[in-house]
Amino acid sequence: NHSVDESAAPNGALATTSLIPQPLSPPRKVALITGITGQDGSYLTEFLLRKGYEVHGLIRRSSNFNTARLDHLYVDPHNSQKARMKLHYADLSDATSLRLWVDSLLPDEVYNLAAQSHVAVSFEIPEYTADVVATGALRLLEAVRSSPKKGIRYYQAGSSEMFGSTPPPQSETSPFHPRSPYAAAKCAAHWYTVNYREAYGLFACNGILFNHESPRRGENFVTRKITRALGRIKVGLQTKLFLGNLSAARDWGFAGDYVEAMWMMLQQDEPEDYVVATEDSHSVEEFLEEAFGHVGLMWRDHVEIDKRYFRPTEVDSLRGDSSKVRKVLGWKPRVGFKELVRMMVDSDIELAKREKVLVDAGYMDAQQQP
Ligand code: NDP
Ligand code: GDR
């Protein structure tokens, strides 16, 4: 396929160049991503497609379509020349489905991003969270270990939540003290990954990523909940926003930057674990201040505290020490706190404006969200 892509070259250059032997390009790398429909999955897919990968994503069956974050990347698989992203049904709770796809796709790299990823929800469905987050990772590691293809590289989506109540700054050597069923399950997944590396020589890495956000962030995580509501407040679709603990501090980065670190980990000579963080921490209140300030509103005029959003145990303060990933991988964040907040607010104001058009035309109720 080395000269086919040049057929669009101007002035019929292909007619001559295609007769000259070209060096064969290396075979396209194959990546398998769980959680491809999530925030990180969509950014990682874009990133890997740009790198020339063939990307396979495992999606779970849902009664509604759950691929909204990927729709702009979708090419009909019947167009096999162009379709480099392909989706397959599987579930982290179903080992057979994981094995089936690992064994038939024979990927070079596996990114395990799937999770019940909401910390507060994990208190309500702890057992399911453990099954998907902890045992799910174990099932996938087993599928990779027993695959006929040797040398598959595995990425495990670890979390700063594992540090829990350990005070900042948190680095690879800081102790874990999880504060939720979600965080405890992520610790198990972390140690399964370490164990498969030590026991079987698997090329398996844990990325211990601090919070990362974007306009594609799920709407019930605090940053997006704020910017989504703010957009609607700004265009007059709502007036109030109900939140929980405003004093918790997080090290918020941009998801687009973080997926690059995932890939970089798998390109090294040795598999290791890395903390990925901006090293800059802000409280939820500071996020509100920045977001509302950006559009000239006062958050205190709109925010009400609702005890429902407090967690039985909270993670008070996270700020990463990411010196290892910066030194060894040469990674650093491109988007800082203010830019991130503005990017999310601007995007959600545009979204709210589109909603407003539908509401004004009588196609949508103001309470309803698409
Ligand atoms: P999201 O919640 O946006 O995405 C989670 C993904 O997992 C979705 O694609 C979801 O599918 C899928 N999923 C959930 N349950 C299952 C299941 N049983 N079987 C198969 N797939 C399933 O998370 P993010 O993109 O934000 O995060 C990606 C990963 O990184 C997660 O593991 C998360 O815990 C972890 N993480 C995230 C951080 C962050 O700040 N974003 C920080 C540190 C770690 P569906 O679309 O159908 O719901
Ligand atoms: P987190 O993210 O728990 O850090 O987990 P989230 O945005 O849910 O909470 C951050 C902080 O905000 C406080 N908070 C609220 N949170 C939510 N969701 N809704 C509210 O109304 C609200 N009010 C205040 C929380 O108490 C908390 O202190 C995220 C997820 O992406 C995990 O999967 C990931 O592992 C970690 O980040 C790193």
Q: What is the DSSP string of 272-339?
A: --EEE--S--EEHHHHHHHHHHHTT--GGGTEEE-GGG--SS---B--B--HHHHHHS----SS-HHH
- Separation CA 81–CA 60 (nearest Å): 26
Give, for ligand 2, the residue of 118, 119, 228 to mutate: max count of ligand atoms closer than 8 Å to Cβ.
119
Which residue is closest in CA terms to ligand 2's atom 35? 159
Measure the CA dihedral 185/191/195/197, to 10°.
Answer: 100
Give, for ligand 1, the residue of 33, 36, 40, 111 to mutate: max count of ligand atoms closer than 8 Å to Cβ.
40
Q: Does the beta carbon of 211 sit less than 6 angstroms from any atom of ligand 1?
A: yes
Q: What confidence tier does 2 reach under pLDDT thresholds 50, 70, 90?
A: very low
Number of domains in the chain: 1
Residue 19 has pLDDT above 70, yes or no: no
The SS3 of residue 198 is helix
Place of tokens 């939820």: 284
Q: What is the pLDDT of residue 3?
A: 31
Provide residues with CB under 6 Å of ligand 2.
117, 119-120, 159-161, 211, 220-223, 225, 243-245, 248, 250, 284, 309, 311, 314
Q: What is the pLDDT of residue 68?
A: 95
pLDDT digits (tens, 9 = 90+) for 202-218: 999 999 999 999 999 99
Beta-carbon count within 10 A of 97 CB: 18
- Give the residue numbers spanning the domain of 143: 26-360
Q: What is the pLDDT of residue 370?
A: 53
Q: 248 CA to middle of ligand 2, Å? A: 9
Mean pLDDT, rounded, for 230-238 = 98
For 12-16, 223-227, 231-235, 267-271, which range has the lowest pLDDT when averaged over its residues? 12-16
1 assigned to some structural domain: no
**Of all helices (H) and strands (E), which one includes residue 242?**
strand 241-243
Ligand positioned closest to the Cα atom of 317:
2
277 assigned to some structural domain: yes
Q: What is the pLDDT of residue 135?
A: 99
Q: 260 CA to middle of ligand 2, Å? A: 23
Ligand positioned closest to the Cα atom of 258:
1
Q: What is the pLDDT of residue 18?
A: 52
pLDDT digits (tens, 9 = 90+) for 317-363: 999 999 999 999 999 999 999 999 999 999 999 999 999 999 999 99
Q: 284 CA to middle of ligand 2, Å? A: 9
- Atom index in ligand 2 nearest the CA of residue 245 equals 24
Instruction: Name the average pLDDT for the chain.
Output: 93
Residues forming beta bridges with residue 275, ordered by sequence position: 208
Q: Does the beta carbon of 241 sit less than 6 angstroms from any atom of ligand 1?
A: no
20 assigned to some structural domain: no
195 assigned to some structural domain: yes
276 assigned to some structural domain: yes
Residue 136: name the closest of 160, 162, 112, 104 by CA: 112
Structure tokens at 22: 């070209």
Residue 6 has pLDDT above 50, yes or no: no
pLDDT digits (tens, 9 = 90+) for 149-168: 999 999 999 999 999 999 99
**Would the ipTM clear 0.95, i.e. be above it?**
yes
% of the chain residues with pLDDT over 90: 88
Q: 8 CA to middle of ligand 1, Å? A: 39
Q: Are 318 and 198 in contact (CB under 8 A)?
A: no
- CATH assignment at residue 77: 3.40.50.720
**What is the set of active-site residues?**
159, 161, 182
Residue 15 has pLDDT above 90, yes or no: no
pLDDT digits (tens, 9 = 90+) for 117-144: 999 999 999 999 999 999 999 999 999 9
Place of tokens 């040049």: 6
Sign of CA dihedral 8, 11, 12, 13: negative
- Atom index in ligand 1 nearest the CA of residue 131 equals 18
Q: What is the pLDDT of residue 1?
A: 31
Residue 12, by phi and psi: left (phi above 0), alpha (psi -120 to 50) or beta? left
Structure tokens at 50: 């740009």
Residues forming beta bridges with residue 276, ordered by sequence position: 209
10 assigned to some structural domain: no
- Separation CA 287–CA 279 (nearest Å): 16
Q: Are 16 and 39 in contact (CB under 8 A)?
A: no
Q: 349 CA to middle of ligand 2, Å? A: 22
Which residue is closest in CA terms to ligand 2's atom 29? 211
Ligand positioned closest to the Cα atom of 98:
1
Q: What is the pLDDT of residue 75?
A: 85
365 assigned to some structural domain: no
Residue 16 has pLDDT above 90, yes or no: no
57 assigned to some structural domain: yes
Q: 10 CA to middle of ligand 1, Å? A: 44
Residue 14 has pLDDT above 60, yes or no: no
